[in-house]
Structure 1
Amino acid sequence: MLHFKSQVAVITGAASGLGLVIAHKLLNEGANVGLLDMNESGLLEHFVGNQEQEEVVGVDVTDEMQVQQAVEKVIARFGKIDILINCVGITGITQVKSHEVSSENLRKVMDVNFMSAFYTSKAVLPYMLASNYGRILHVASIAGKEGNAGMLAYSASKAAIIGMTKVQGKEYAETGITVNALAPAVIQTPLVAAMPEAQVRYMTDKIPMKRCGTLEEAANMAAFIVSPENSFTTGFTFDLSGGRATY
């Protein structure tokens, strides 16, 4: 079914992992999609078969001006933006205690994970306000709720995402725009595959289902969150944790 026919989505981190799978799902369900990623060659590798629905944009999402230009490029191509999904993210250096954390690495993780989501939402919201409609989804993490030892930078950046989601959900609640977050536990992504085995085991052992989530499970939930049917939930962080989340 073409649940997203005639809608326009912007997805960051679309060249790999969750962003890639969500992008293909929305494309398959009829959406036109602005595909944003620093890895433009990766975008061109994965999105070559449906150019009428795709706008590929190589962009550094930590640069506010580049983000604004990327959003304007999508607007010029498709005329509007109905959906924003922020999937881009890095873990940074892990398995280090707080007194060992590099300030430089902390700033980098915050720039990629949090500031990019602020820049993209800041850029698309005026267009959504003009249409009296919008769906924004920030991908957070269970680490943002509970904190993962050895992952200060990542946990703090995802907690900031959850905080921003609560603020934006309240600010735009009467405008037809919903803003929500998704808090996965461990999902089988390239990002997780690159982490030390001990760090992944530490996180997986906390999951009552004793397994990682799949990209397909995450994409299905993300698609519902940004659908027209999900109209009375905003400022909320959806659980995708195999039973780990308790609030």
Structure 2
Amino acid sequence: MNKYDFDGRTAIVTGGAQGIGHAVAEELNKGGARVAIWDTDFELASKTAKELGDGSLSVKADIANWSSVEAAYRKTKDAFGRVDIAVNSAGIAGSNAPVADYPVEEFHQIVAVNLLGAFHVNKVVAADMREQNYGRIVNIASVAGKEGNPNASAYSSSKAGVIGLTKSLGKEMADCDIAVNCVTPAAARTRIFDQMSQEHIDYMLSKIPRGRFLELNEAAAMIAWLASSENSFTTGGVFDLSGGRATY
């Protein structure tokens, strides 16, 4: 895997205790970044931070809650002084059901975490990134946000919103050395599968021309470049990680 220089940079990785977020936190740390792992599972986040070693921080954060995000950001800045990179990987899938039967409260919860959470994380870092004229934001959307998965309307809708948020903020910040992009992964084998039916997991696999699920290191490789200073021109972009399912 290519190694990017993150020496002197500070990164926030939401959902960094596991899954894609964990893989990204490791990759940024290898490049020399100080990494703040934001997660609702503080015990697991602390374990991950300990594994990464010096220059890492675990922060309990519920991205669906604006006050929690503000507090997590203050703790991160108090520890590291500034924030240069934000990778928003925290998210939930929810259960599988047709729209007519989908639980209203669960739909609201998924939107609160996946879309409002992304907004909160992007909002909290935006002003300081503009003031310092540097920043890299990477939002983890999903191929479901492009295509819409049946029986997953809440997840698909929330991730479509993340794509729109990324495009808007990317254009707002384009006059600075700030890049705001998102990736649209196909499914990867993480604990998020625990929230899905086997039928839905099989459906997702059947739609991937590669014939396999995404590997975490593959996601981390693309995200690391998007979070690096080498990504100096592209912003507001949507980068495919779907194994050929959606090539746009």
Report the TM-score, using the length of structure 2 for normalisation: 0.96
| Secondary structure in 2 matching 1:9 | strand
Is it true that 1:121 corresponds to 2:122 in the alignment? yes
Equivalences for residues 98-117 of structure 1 within 5 A: 98-117=99-118
Q: Which moved more, 1:151-160 or 1:11-20?
A: 11-20
Q: Percentage identity across aligned positions?
A: 40
The one-letter code matched in structure 2 to 1:79 is G
1:52 Cα deviation (Å)?
A: 3.0
Partner deviation per Cα, 1:31-74 (whole Å, 9 max, x = no partner): 00111001000112222145430121111111101101111111
Q: In 2, Cα distance between the equivalents of 1:118 and 1:57?
A: 19
The 5 A counterparts of 1:129-148 are 129-148=130-149
> Counterpart in 2 of 1:232?
233
d(CA) in 2 for partners of 1:51, 1:208: 38
2:54: which partner in 1?
A: 52
**Are positions 1:17 and 2:19 aligned together?**
yes
What secondary structure does 2:240 align onto? strand
What TM-score do the two structures reach when normalised by structure 1?
0.96
Structure 1: stretches of 5+ with no match in the other structure:
none
3-state SS of paired residue (1:163): helix
> In 1, are the aligned partners of 2:14 and 2:89 still within 8 Å (CA)?
yes
Distance 2:202 2:4 in 1: 39
Q: Which amino acid aligns with 1:15?
A: A
Cα distance between partner residues in 2 of 1:114 and 1:71: 18
Shift of 1:93: 1.3
> Helix, strand or coil: the match of 1:48?
helix
Cα distance change, pair 225–147 in 1 and its aligned pair in 2 (3 A):
same
> Secondary structure at the residue paired with 1:208?
coil
Equivalent position amino acid for 1:8 in 2: T
Aligned residue identity for 2:8: S
Instruction: Give per-residue Cα distances to partners, 1:178-197, cap 9 Å, x unaligned.
Output: 11000001112121254221
SS where residue 186 of structure 1 aligns? coil
Decide whether aligned partners of structure 1 residues 53 and 106 sit closer, same or farther in structure 2, where only a CA change above 3 A counts.
same
What is the letter of the counterpart of residue 169 of structure 1? G
Give the unaligned 5+ runs of structure 2: none
Contact 2:49-2:57 at 8 Å conserved across structures = no
1:159 to 1:50, Cα distance in 2 relative to 1, 3 A: closer
Per-residue CA distance 1:63-118 (angstroms, 9 max, x = gap): 10110111111111111111000000111111x11111111001100011111111
1:153 aligned to 2:154?
yes
